[in-house]
Amino acid sequence: MFTKFLATDEEKQTRIIGSALKQFAEKSYSAASTNEIAKEAGISKGLLFHYFASKKALYLYMYDYSIQVISEEIGQKVNFDERDLFIRMSQVAGLKLTIFQKSPDLMKFLERVFFEEAEEVKQELEDRKKQVATSEYFKLFSDIDSSSFKEGIDAAQAINVILWTLEGLGESVKARHKLDGKEIDIPLLMEEFDRYMELLRMSFYK
């Protein structure tokens, strides 16, 4: 679908990706300007739409690109020899935080995606989020050591409860954002994440 863009030289790809990421990080989907993206990347708007058929196509490409960056980084650095569920989850959370610190525009973009309400992209984003959750969590939390769980607790069901808890935490963050409009406080969110993980560890482990 994006063969023309992927066929161009790497330096130009980097400029376009960096420009698009910056614009979508700073503004909502509706407010973001393809004129500004093209200008920042040093190309014409016509060339931008030669690579991407529409603003929507570019936006969704940037979402897929951002998820791929995170997935590859985590896949390379997480210790899959560590089979304790909660230690592995802490590893993943820490790696994500490191990525966001290194790439603030990527973090800001995904934060905006989290709150994005534009009807033009909302459904496609929800479909992608579900697909990512299914595929990535399966890879990250397969081969977990079940010996630490209390008798009668199924590891797969416990993982589902944890993922539902994280999903609920995400919805709570969304609700708070709608009320106060504040950006996500990452350190505070990590503290909340750690509290939930400790509570679940005490519930599920011996």
The model's pLDDT over 148-193, given as tens digits with 9 standing for 90+, comes to 889 899 888 888 888 888 778 777 776 776 677 677 777 777 888 8
* Residue range(s) defining the domain that contains residue 76: 3-204
Strand, coil or helix: 67: helix
Exposed, middle or buried, 7 (CB in 10 Å: 0-12/13-18/19+)?
exposed
Exposure letters 29-56 (e unless 16+ CB within 10 A, then b): beebebebbbebbebeeebbeebbeebe
The model's pLDDT over 47-91, given as tens digits with 9 standing for 90+, comes to 999 999 999 999 999 999 999 998 888 888 888 888 998 888 888
* Number of domains forming the structure of the chain: 1
Domain of 114: which CATH number? 1.10.357.10
Query: Against a cut of 0.85, is the pTM above it?
Result: no
Between helix 186-204 and helix 155-180 the angle, nearest 10°, is 150
Per-residue pLDDT at 110 exceeds 70 = yes
- Closest by CA to 67, choosing from 18, 115, 106, is 106
The whole-number pLDDT of residue 178 equals 67
